[in-house]
Each structure stands twice: as structure tokens, then as C-alpha cells.
Structure 1
Amino acid sequence: MKSVLLVNASPQGPASRAYGMARKATDNLLSTEPDIRLVERHLSANSPSPISGAYADAIVQRARRETPAFVESETFIQDVIGCDYLIIATPMHNFTVPASLKLWIDYVLRDERTFTRRDGYKVGLLADRPALVIVGSGGMHNGPHARQPDYLSPYLTHVLTTIGISSVAFIYLQGMARQDAAEQSLVSADRQLAANPVFGLVSAVAGS
């Protein structure tokens, strides 16, 4: 059975508009593959633990996967390994990812578990799979009306590529702090999602 992993980093939880868009993407997948299993991680409601000294020591000592310090990391890594589709719904906090998502990343990126090193570079150990990142922000950070930098997009792209996931698409919900801009952004995001060949309505119509 195929599965989709939905990671929601919004402090608004299921009320987040980015999460709502993520659920639309999930529903589109279900319209073509009804047996898909949905796995959700709400990082604000169940925030990953801060990185501990025991975890850091286990990394340095190259401890076995079964070590107690790796339990949380293994849970998140198994989520990613087991999914056929990955969806991340996240706000932009201070130009980049929120703290809860950064902790999730720190547990998922693990040397000799999700990436290895070759010639001094990190190389992913996981198989590629379609990934969709939906970014919500109160201001404008992308396009001609951008008023702040976007460090989130290149960072998350590099993070996912590091573990082997390079098929990544982004949808932006910008200007959500202003009603007029929010309405336009939601309409634009709906169009982008509908046209996405994997997560959108195009795949449903084509049956692919």
C-alpha cells in the first residue's frame, strides 16, 4: 500500500491555510489512488524534542540504530522512508523554517542513515519521491512584490536533496496578513496545485 507523509509545521495546526492546501493535495492523490495511507505529523502540537547531549554523543560515536538516543530520529526517518509522497506545510518564520521543522530536519538528516559522504560531499541514501512544500507567509518574499528575502526555499531544497529527494515543488501562500492579497494568493495557489502533474487535478484527469 502506498502512503503519503504530511508534515505540518504551522502553529495554527489543522486551521492553517497551508495545511488546508496540503490536504487538497492529499485528496487529489486519493482521487486516483483511494488506497493510499495518510501519515500526519503535526510538529507544533507534538514538537520534536530538543537535540540532547546523548543524541549528539550517539552521532559522534556512530552508535547503532537501536540505541535509545535514536528512537525519535528513527521514528521520523521511518516516516520518510515509508512514504511514496511527501508533503510539507510550513510557515515562513523570520525568513526561514520554524523551530519545530528545523528540529524535525535535524533528526531526519543523519550521517550514514539518510546520507553518506563521498569526496567530502553529503550524498543522499534515500530513493527519490515526489515532494510538495507549501509555504505560508504574512508578507511577500517571492516575485516582483517581494519585500523580504526567502532563505526557506533554497534551504529546504538542499535539505531534501541531501537525503536523496530532488523532485520537489513549491507553492507559496504569500501576503496572508492582508485579506486582498490572501485571496489572490489562495486563488493562485489553487491553480498551481491543480496543474501539478503529481499532486494536482491534472493527474486525476489523466489517471496517471
Structure 2
Amino acid sequence: MNILHIDASPRAESHSRKLSAAIVERLLDVSPGASVTRRDFAIDPVPHAWSDYATALSSPTTLADPPPGSLDFSESLIREVEAADAVVIGTPMHNLTVPSVLKAWIDQVLRATRTFRSTPMGKVGLLQDRPVFIAIASGAIFSGERANQPDFLTPYLSAVLGSMGLQTVHFLAVQGTAFLDDGQAALAREEALATVDFAIPA
């Protein structure tokens, strides 16, 4: 088994990093021999789309005959997803949605004719489904009766990942982190972990 572990927080000791690390630990408990492929966007951020890549994606004609090398980086990221039996993404909620470094990764892996095809009914995913565990940390509260801000992160990631064929998406969240001490945050992580079954289909 291979786990693709992605962190998008710029902070080395963030709540989302601690939660994503705990998810990986649970997966390793289930599959002790699993390998982990690491992507830390604070240390090695995915660049935003450059001219040749944007040109390649601009029309069916250019996508069929793209500028040399323009899709190579995108291809390497997509292959990491394809090689993973489970994907773990740790992300803060920035201004109600995902941080730009995670959006840059999405712009590389959500690619026409490679991870989805367009139909009159919308995008159809071309990747085989696998579990995706998303660890979210939010300084405010975005779900439940105490919600005090909108949530554009979870519906967006559900739509994006689903467009690629990744339908089994689990969201685990630690909310109100601006007001939690270390003990409360640790308890919130345990409560989030308890909401998900970490069994991986064979």
C-alpha cells in the first residue's frame, strides 16, 4: 500500500499538519508495511500554471499537440495520485476556502483528457476511485449549529476530486482553532479521527 501525504499549511506546527499526520498514523496501523510519498507545499510549493501549460490546456487542438515538456510536471503529480492507495491532504481553511498552494496542485492534476473528460452532462472522472482523507483546520467554525462563517472548501474539494473520479472523500476537521489550547486541540483531533473508518479496500 502507498499513501500520498500532502500538507498545504505554511506553518510547521499547524493544526492541519498534526491532524493529517494522525490520519497517516492510523493508516499505517491498518497497513504497517505501507510506504508514504510526501508533498509538503510549505517546503516545496507547486508553482502556479505557467504559459506553456496554460497554452496546452487552452483548446483541444493545443492539448493534442502541446508545447514540448509543458505537461511533464502535471504528469508527475497525476502519477503520484495514481500510485497511491490512499491520499491524505492536510489544509487550513484560508478565507473560507483552500490556500493558493493547494489550488496550484489542483490546477495541475485536474486535467482534461487525462484525469477527466468533458461530456454534455459535465466532467467524468478518469482516475480509479481511492479514499481521500482531508484534514481541515479552521480558526473559526464553519459547520454545525455554531457555524459563524460560510464553507466553500468542502463542496469545492468534493466537486474537484469527484471530477477526477475520486468519490470516496472523508473530511475531518478541527474548528475554532484560534480559541483552543493544546489540550483542547488534541481532544478535537481525536474526536475528528473517531468519525472515520480507516479501512482501505483491497
> TM-score scaled to structure 1, two decimals?
0.88
Q: Give deviations 1:133-174, integer Å, cap 9, x for gaps.
A: 111111111111111101001000101100001111111111
> Where does 1:135-174 land on structure 2 (aligned, <5 Å)?
135-174=136-175
Gaps (5+ residues) in structure 1?
A: none
The CA deviation at 1:22 is 1.3
User: 3-state DSSP class of the match of 1:122?
Assistant: strand
C-alpha distance in 2, partners of 1:35/1:183? Answer: 31
Provide the residue aligned with 2:95 in structure 1: 94
Please say which of residues 135-144 and 58-67 is displaced more in the overlay: 58-67
Can you give the 5+ residue segments of structure 2 that lack an aligned partner in the other structure? none
Tell whether 2:31 aligns with 1:33: yes
Identity across matched positions, percent: 35
For residues 88 and 146 of structure 1, the distance between their equivalents in structure 2, rounded to whole angstroms, comes to 23
Q: Classify 1:85/1:66 alpha carbon distance in 2 versus 1 (closer, same or farther; 3 Å).
A: farther
- State the alpha-carbon separation in 2 of the partners of residues 36 and 65 from structure 1: 36
> 3-state SS of the aligned residue for 1:166?
coil
- Give the alignment of 1:109-124 within 5 angstroms: 109-124=110-125
Secondary structure in 2 aligned to 1:10? coil
The residue matched to 1:89 in structure 2 has which SS? strand
* Aligned counterpart, 2:6: 7
- Aligned partner of residue 36 in structure 2, secondary structure: strand
- Which residue pairs with 1:76 in the alignment? 77
Partner of 1:189: 189
Q: Which amino acid aligns with 1:52?
A: W
Q: How many residues align?
A: 198
Q: What's the secondary structure of 2:113's corresponding residue? A: coil
Look up the equivalent residue of 2:80 and give its one-letter code.
Answer: D
CA–CA distance in 2 between the matches of 1:139 and 1:29? Answer: 28
- CA–CA distance in structure 1, aligned partners of residues 185 and 33 of structure 2: 31
Amino acid at match of 2:45: S
CA RMSD of aligned residues (A): 2.1
Does the 8 Å CA contact 2:3/2:37 hold for their aligned counterparts?
yes
Offset at 1:125? 0.2
Change (3 A) 1:64 1:22: farther
**One-letter amino acid of the structure 2 residue matched with residue 8 of structure 1:** D
> Deviation digits for residues 33-76 of structure 1, max 9, x if unmatched?
12111011111221111211111111230146894111221121
